[in-house]
Amino acid sequence: MPVRQPTAEELLSRGNLPRHIAIIMDGNGRWARARGVPRMFGHRAGRESVRESVKGCVALGVEVLTLYTFSIENWKRPKREVDALMGILQKTLRAEREELKANNVRLAVIGRTHDLPAAVRKAITETQNYLAGSSGLLLNLALSYSGRAEMVEAVRAILREEPRIDPAVVDEAFLANFLYTAGLPDPDLLIRTSGELRISNFMLWQLAYAELWITDTLWPDFRRRHLYQAVADYQRRERRFGRVD
């Protein structure tokens, strides 16, 4: 018997919603391979999954949705694929602006953005400016991102700004202010598609107490109902953050 899918209204009525959802979008290549088409078809098909996830988070009043869009390691892929991915990203940012604005969505980017092609950086800036008047969901794209690189850059920033820092003032809150995500709540819920059981160098600091939800669904097949399933499962869990009742 099929599992009944929760509605947004039901999830909202239960309360205990995640403020920040992070997603490792995995499985585009396998989705394409299973259909005998080039990998790019999988990447393009994933646009609808992003759209569905954004709309689902808007409906639930989620504050931040972070998508692991392109890792530093992804630069090692064949140049043809990397160029195509950058082209898809650039076109998607421009194509989705109107709908993002209609849904009151803001845009942020974390990662080594200086690595991105100039045309992509321009599309990001233009989209951020276009959405500047929005006040709802923050769509946070991790681009040329690495969790380890983020922490290295945080330490470098501290040494630049506080060369004679007193070690006694360095605590978790202090360090967090130098991360890409400074000022944002840590993810409450991490979703990973394609069934892989790893976090792939993603938000290593921020995910310390996140609840994990893994699905075998490949990213191009991920829809709002899957997001709602993950949130419903999150609502059933008891988060203790190391405490014992």
User: Does the annotation flag 211 for ligand binding?
Assistant: yes
Question: How far is it, in rounded angstroms, from Cα 174 to Cα 205?
Answer: 13
User: Does the annotation flag 31 for ligand binding?
Assistant: yes
The secondary element (H helix, E strand) that includes residue 97 is helix 97-102
Is 139 in contact with 107 (CB distance < 8 Å)? yes
User: Does the annotation flag 198 for ligand binding?
Assistant: yes
Of 26, 140, 186, 188, catalytic:
26
Question: How far is it, in rounded angstroms, from Cα 190 to Cα 18?
Answer: 10
CA-based torsion, 88, 89, 93, 94: positive or negative: negative
User: Does the annotation flag 75 for ligand binding?
Assistant: yes
Q: Rounded to the nearest 10 degrees, how much is the dihedral formed by the CA atoms of 87, 91, 93, 98?
A: 180
Q: Which amino acid is at 219?
A: W
User: Does the annotation flag 33 for ligand binding?
Assistant: no
DSSP label at residue 5: P
| 26 is known as an active-site residue | yes
Of 16, 74, 177, 186, catalytic:
74
Is 197 in contact with 214 (CB distance < 8 Å)? yes
User: Does the annotation flag 114 for ligand binding?
Assistant: no
User: Does the annotation flag 147 for ligand binding?
Assistant: no
DSSP string, 164-233: T--GGG--HHHHHTTSTTTTSPPPSEEEE-TT----TT-STTTTTTPEEEE-SS-GGG--HHHHHHHHHH
User: Does the annotation flag 30 for ligand binding?
Assistant: yes
User: Does the annotation flag 213 for ligand binding?
Assistant: no
User: Does the annotation flag 150 for ligand binding?
Assistant: no
User: Does the annotation flag 80 for ligand binding?
Assistant: no
User: Does the annotation flag 77 for ligand binding?
Assistant: yes
Question: How far is it, in rounded angstroms, from Cα 119 to Cα 215?
Answer: 34
User: Does the annotation flag 219 for ligand binding?
Assistant: no
| 74 is known as an active-site residue | yes
Known binding-site positions for Mg(2+): 26, 211
Q: Which residues are catalytic?
A: 26, 74
Known binding-site positions: 26-31, 39, 43, 71-73, 75, 77, 192, 198-200, 211
Known binding-site positions for substrate: 27-31, 39, 43, 71-73, 75, 77, 192, 198-200
